[in-house]
Amino acid sequence: MAAEVIANELFPDSTITLALFRNVENVKEIRQCVMNGTFEAAILKTSMIVDPFQVIVAANKAVVHQNKVGKMMTKNVHSEILFNLSPSKNISDSFRKFGAGDTDQSVFIAVIDDKTGQTLQAIQNTVKGQQVDVDEVKQLSDLNNIKKIYKLTDAELSWSPLDALVTRIAAKDIMTI
Amino acid sequence: MERVLIKQGAEGKLYSSEFYGKPCIVKERFTKSYRHPALDKSLTTQRMKAEARALLRCRMSGIECPALYMVDIESRCIIMERVLNSVTVREYTRTLQEKDDAKNLLSLAKQIGEVLGRLHSNNIIHGDLTTSNMLIKGYGENSRIILIDFGLSYFDSVAEDKGVDLYVLERAFLSTHPNTEALFQVILDTYKDNNKTGAEDVMKKLEEIRMRGRKRTMVG
Ligand SMILES: Nc1ncnc2c1ncn2[C@@H]1O[C@H](COP(=O)(O)OP(=O)(O)OP(=O)(O)O)[C@@H](O)[C@H]1O
Ligand SMILES: [Mg+2]
Model pLDDT for residues A116-153, shown as the tens digit of each residue = 999 999 999 999 999 999 999 999 999 999 999 999 99
- What is the average pLDDT value for chain B, to the nearest integer? 95
Whether residues B57 and B93 share a domain: the answer is no
Residue A170: pLDDT over 90: yes
Q: Taking residues A151-159, what's their average pLDDT? A: 95
Catalytic member of B40, B100, B101, B128: B128
B81, B108, B140 - which closes a domain: B81
pLDDT digits (tens, 9 = 90+) for A59-110: 999 999 988 878 889 999 999 999 999 999 999 999 999 999 999 999 999 9
Q: What pLDDT sits at residue A150?
A: 97
Of B49, B62, B67, the CB nearest to A174: B49
Residues 123-162 of B with CB under 8 A from A: none
Nearest to B137 by CA among B148, B150, B125, B128: B148
B16 lines ligand 1 (CB under 6 A): no
Backbone angles phi, psi at B13, to 5 degrees: -120, 150
Burial B63-83 (b: 16+ CB within 10 A, else e): bbbbbbbbbbbeebbbbbbbb
Closest residue, chain B, to A53 (C-alpha) = B20
Q: Which ligand is nearest to the CA of B153?
A: 1
Rounded Cα gap, residues B28 and A123, in angstroms: 39
Eight-state DSSP code of residue A99: B
Closest residue, chain B, to A155 (C-alpha) = B62
Rounded Cα gap, residues A58 and A120, in angstroms: 19
C-alpha dist (Å) from residue B4 to B1, B27, B145: 10, 12, 25
Tell me, yes or no, whether B11 lies in a domain: yes
Backbone angles phi, psi at B153, to 5 degrees: -80, 160
Report how many Cβ contacts below 8 Å link chain A to chain B: 63
Whether residues B75 and B92 share a domain: the answer is no
Give the CATH number, domain containing residue B146: 1.10.510.10
The model's pTM: 0.95
Whether residues B117 and B208 share a domain: the answer is yes
Distance in Å, CA B51 to ligand 2 centroid: 12
Rounded Cα gap, residues B140 and B143, in angstroms: 6
Nearest to B66 by CA among B124, B154, B148, B144: B148
Tell me, yes or no, whether B39 lies in a domain: yes
Least confident segment among B21-25, B29-33, B81-85? B29-33
Whether residues B185 and B99 share a domain: the answer is yes
Give the rounded percent of residues in chain B with a pLDDT score beyond 70: 98
Closest residue, chain B, to A167 (C-alpha) = B68
Index of the ligand 1 atom closest to the CA of residue B88: 31
How far away is chain A from the Cα of B112, in angstroms, using its nearest Cα?
A: 18
B57, B81, B105 - which closes a domain: B81
DSSP B51-104: HHHHHHHHHHTT---PPEEEEETTTTEEEEE--TTEEEHHHHHHHHHHHT-HHH
Residue B215: pLDDT over 60: yes
Least confident segment among A112-116, B34-38, B171-175? B34-38
Output the residue whose Cα is nearest ligand 1's atom 7.
Answer: B82
ipTM of the prediction: 0.95
B149 lines ligand 1 (CB under 6 A): yes
Rounded Cα gap, residues B184 and B56, in angstroms: 28
Whether residues B139 and B94 share a domain: the answer is yes
pLDDT digits (tens, 9 = 90+) for B42-55: 999 999 999 999 99
Give yes or no for B61 touching A (CB within 8 A). yes
Whether residues B38 and B103 share a domain: the answer is no
Burial A75-89 (b: 16+ CB within 10 A, else e): eebbbbbbbbbbbbe
Identify the residue with better confidence: B215 or A55: A55
Label residue A2 by pLDDT band (50, 70, 90): low
Index of the ligand 1 atom closest to the CA of residue B133: 17
How far away is chain B from the Cα of A68, in angstroms, using its nearest Cα?
A: 8
Q: Say how many domains are in chain B.
A: 2
| Under 8 Å between Cβ of B46 and B36 | no
Whether residues B192 and B112 share a domain: the answer is yes
Question: Is the Cβ pair B68, A170 closer than 8 Å?
Answer: yes
Residue B136: pLDDT over 70: yes
Catalogue all structural domains in chain A, each as residue range(s) with its CATH number.
4-143 (3.30.2380.10)
Label residue B219 by pLDDT band (50, 70, 90): low
Label residue A1 by pLDDT band (50, 70, 90): low
Whether residues B67 and B100 share a domain: the answer is no
Tell me, yes or no, whether B220 lies in a domain: no
Residues in chain A, how many? 177
Q: What pLDDT sits at residue A10?
A: 80
B50, B81, B112 - which closes a domain: B81
Rounded Cα gap, residues A57 and B67, in angstroms: 12
Sign of CA dihedral A113, A117, A118, A119: positive
Whether residues B73 and B91 share a domain: the answer is no
pLDDT digits (tens, 9 = 90+) for B196-208: 999 999 999 999 9
Whether residues B130 and B201 share a domain: the answer is yes
Question: Is the Cβ pair A56, B71 closer than 8 Å?
Answer: no
Whether residues B167 and B189 share a domain: the answer is yes
Whether residues B22 and B35 share a domain: the answer is yes
Tell me, yes or no, whether B160 lies in a domain: yes
Rounded Cα gap, residues B27 and B5, in angstroms: 10
Tell me, yes or no, whether B190 lies in a domain: yes
Domain containing B31: what range?
A: 4-81
Tell me, yes or no, whether B198 lies in a domain: yes
Tell me, yes or no, whether B104 lies in a domain: yes
Q: E-strand spans in chain A?
A: 4-7, 15-22, 42-44, 107-112, 130-132
